[in-house]
Structure 1
Amino acid sequence: MVEVKETLDATYTETDDGDRTLNDYSLTNILGSGSFGVVYLGINSKTGAKYAIKEFSKTRLRKKDMFSRQAFGFRGRGRGRGRGIGGPPQPPPSAIEYIRGEVAILKKLNHPNIIKLYEVLDDPRQDSLYMVMELCEKGVVMDVGLDKTCDPYSEDAARKLFCQAVLGIEYLHEHEISHRDIKPDNLLLTSDDVLKIVDFGVSEMFVASGNDRSKKSAGSPAFFAPEMCVAHHGEMSMKACDVWALGVTLHCLVFGKLPFVAVSILELYEVIRTAVPEIPKTASRELRNLIEQMLEKDPEKRISIAGIKTHHWLTQDGKQTLPSTHENTDSIGTRITHVTEDEM
């Protein structure tokens, strides 16, 4: 279990000159922003250590929590202690309770390709909640979107990044966690080019040992698997959905663009379900084959993580061998167990 400090009485201050502090952290440059809030570069005034400090709006978190209660009859991802809509009234949760599931999962993760969480802080006088995380100095591997293309990586450079992502996802799946939002935005690089998987806000523990089925759709639409793009869909394999999103991510890395684009969400869903992505002729035969297998419309026929690890493109026809599943998962730390009520 990774030790994560929780500070419920933090103090955030901002001077007239714009200098921001949060307890022992000086908040300097803005590293990024999104619907959740802002990510700052944080420097510990006592040690000089640098961190990424992610700010959440408690107001937005409360609205998200209320939607989850109404839509699913429980709070968050189903591991919380709240009753269903018809149960007795519950007292309003503390702010940290809104991200308790994500914090509980991150406490259990110990892998070189998964981001580390060090501290969670709440200033009860402010609207913000903060997560102090490992700093990835080089930022996202690629800033690509429906209306934005990027310079692609070479196949060799993409392979080095992709191998790390595969090992991180294998670790999660072997410990019965699905990320649910794999995309270049959620793959960050440290100063020495170590890839870190981030943002476990919609991640799910499997409902039971070996059972990765879920009816919930989660993640970013451009990375949705075809089986998620159907109204009133039934249960889906979360691992197969992660593999699809990883395939879309690989397409982005080597071609600098998304394989499926459209002007509306409904049209995007239709394209994902029916269209065959164009793969440039410049792609190697092995790369083309891997992408086609990862973007297989039928989840039952889609390649698995185990298949990806031994694919000719990833291994360079056997010249490169990835760590075995045992080496990649069991030897790094204590095997993960399900999130318990006490950990929540």
Structure 2
Amino acid sequence: PGIPAEQFPDSGKLHSYSHVSHLGKGSFGDTWKAYDRHLRKYVAIKIFYMRHSSVGRNAFFLTPAIVRKLGEKVAGNVKEAVEECVAVKHLVTSRTAASYPGSHNMCQCFQEHVSDAQPSEPIFLVLELCGKSLSQRLRERPNWAWRKQIITQILQGVDFLQANGKIHHDLKPDNVCVTDEDVVKIIDFGGLQNFGKLSHGCAYTPAYSPPEVKSGCYDLRGPVYAYDGYATGLMLMEFMCGSLTGIRRGSSNPCSYSILYGSEDVNARYVAKMLTQ
């Protein structure tokens, strides 16, 4: 059986972390705040885990031995997460990073402890502690000076990605965090794309995708930077006008409705007008 995912697994390389507190669980990762003695600061530790399987009824942390036992699908998910971590690490340490303020607006991945884990050790990533999501911070009704500062940083982050030929592909308020020091951190690079390379099955959120997108990734021979640009524009509108939830139709952007479904959405004209003012 695996290590029960009920408390912080104080074993292996995780033993070196202290002052641990739980942040939350995702579908594949259990995240903890902990003090990193090597980096001399608090970090977010994402420990891979599974909820239910033939290994046991309850959730358990993954180890290399268990990943091999569970098969290719789980191994593929772990591999993708590690590749995402490595890609962002290379991005923020590139030669051009120092030239762009937006390089500081990426959530850094400091270390991956998957490839060097012992067979019975929990596998995990060490990430930057990024604070609350933009969705959470907006519910606190921040003042306009704060909003202007955050908007500027979001634009800097998107500019940095584009300067490096990257497309985030899933920008939205839940994937933008703000630290306690009011520094923007763009997170979740699972859909990160290279400009000019066709990819399929990318992560995306329909409500923040541009009108020409019907499903998944679209032809990257087109103006693909518009993907992040459009999502950023919608986030800026939410900053200025409040939540768009009331003028969305289901999970699709109202501006896209007539294009995708061949009939007019009553909200589309209103949103189009607001976006162009």
TM range (shorter): 0.5 to 0.7
In structure 2, distance between residues paired with 1:217 and 1:96: 16
In structure 1, distance between residues paired with 2:203 and 2:76: 25
Relative to structure 1, the CA distance from residue 217 to residue 20 in structure 2 (aligned partners, 3 Å threshold; closer, same or farther) is: closer
Unaligned stretches of 5+ residues in structure 1: 1-11, 61-89, 280-287, 295-344
Relative to structure 1, the CA distance from residue 271 to residue 251 in structure 2 (aligned partners, 3 Å threshold; closer, same or farther) is: farther
Relative to structure 1, the CA distance from residue 222 to residue 231 in structure 2 (aligned partners, 3 Å threshold; closer, same or farther) is: closer
CA contact (8 A) 1:202 1:219 kept: yes
**What does residue 43 of structure 1 align with?**
35
1:33 corresponds to 2:25: yes
**What does residue 135 of structure 2 align with?**
142
SS in 2 for 1:98: helix
Relative to structure 1, the CA distance from residue 243 to residue 37 in structure 2 (aligned partners, 3 Å threshold; closer, same or farther) is: same
**What does residue 132 of structure 1 align with?**
126
Residue number among 234, 238, 257 corresponding to 1:270 in the alignment: 257
SS in 1 for 2:233: helix
**What does residue 204 of structure 1 align with?**
193
The code of the aligned residue for 1:119 comes to: Q
Residue number among 94, 101, 105 corresponding to 1:113 in the alignment: 105
CA contact (8 A) 1:25 1:45 kept: yes
Pairwise CA distance, 1:271:
6.9
**What does residue 188 of structure 1 align with?**
177
In structure 2, distance between residues paired with 1:32 and 1:98: 21
CA contact (8 A) 1:180 1:218 kept: yes
Matches within 5 A, 1:143-292: 143=136, 150=139, 152-207=141-196, 218-229=203-214, 234-235=219-220, 236-258=222-244, 260-263=247-250, 270=257, 274=265, 275-276=267-268, 278=270, 292=275
Pairwise CA distance, 1:195:
0.7
The code of the aligned residue for 2:23 comes to: L
The code of the aligned residue for 1:125 comes to: S
CA contact (8 A) 1:181 1:219 kept: yes
SS in 2 for 1:237: coil
CA contact (8 A) 2:255 2:268 kept: no
CA contact (8 A) 1:58 1:95 kept: no
Relative to structure 1, the CA distance from residue 271 to residue 132 in structure 2 (aligned partners, 3 Å threshold; closer, same or farther) is: farther
Relative to structure 1, the CA distance from residue 233 to residue 15 in structure 2 (aligned partners, 3 Å threshold; closer, same or farther) is: closer
Give the % identical residues: 24
In structure 2, distance between residues paired with 1:214 and 1:277: 32
Relative to structure 1, the CA distance from residue 93 to residue 232 in structure 2 (aligned partners, 3 Å threshold; closer, same or farther) is: closer
CA contact (8 A) 2:86 2:109 kept: no
Relative to structure 1, the CA distance from residue 258 to residue 175 in structure 2 (aligned partners, 3 Å threshold; closer, same or farther) is: same
The code of the aligned residue for 1:194 comes to: V
Cα displacement string for residues 214-257 of structure 1 (whole angstroms, at most 9, x for unaligned residues):
66553122212111136996554331011111112122223331
Relative to structure 1, the CA distance from residue 227 to residue 154 in structure 2 (aligned partners, 3 Å threshold; closer, same or farther) is: farther
Highest RCO, 1 vs 2 (Cα 8 Å, sep ≥ 6) = 1
SS in 2 for 1:163: helix
In structure 1, distance between residues paired with 2:212 and 2:37: 49
Relative to structure 1, the CA distance from residue 243 to residue 153 in structure 2 (aligned partners, 3 Å threshold; closer, same or farther) is: farther
Cα displacement string for residues 97-142 of structure 1 (whole angstroms, at most 9, x for unaligned residues):
333431332122221111111111235436x642211112x31122
CA contact (8 A) 1:56 1:130 kept: yes
Pairwise CA distance, 1:191:
2.3
> In proportion to residue count, which structure has more helix?
2
CA contact (8 A) 1:152 1:255 kept: no
Pairwise CA distance, 1:207:
3.2
In structure 1, distance between residues paired with 2:180 and 2:84: 25
Relative to structure 1, the CA distance from residue 97 to residue 159 in structure 2 (aligned partners, 3 Å threshold; closer, same or farther) is: same
SS in 2 for 1:227: coil
Pairwise CA distance, 1:189:
1.6
In structure 1, distance between residues paired with 2:213 and 2:203: 9
Q: TM-score, normalised by structure 2?
A: 0.67
Q: TM-score, normalised by structure 1?
A: 0.55
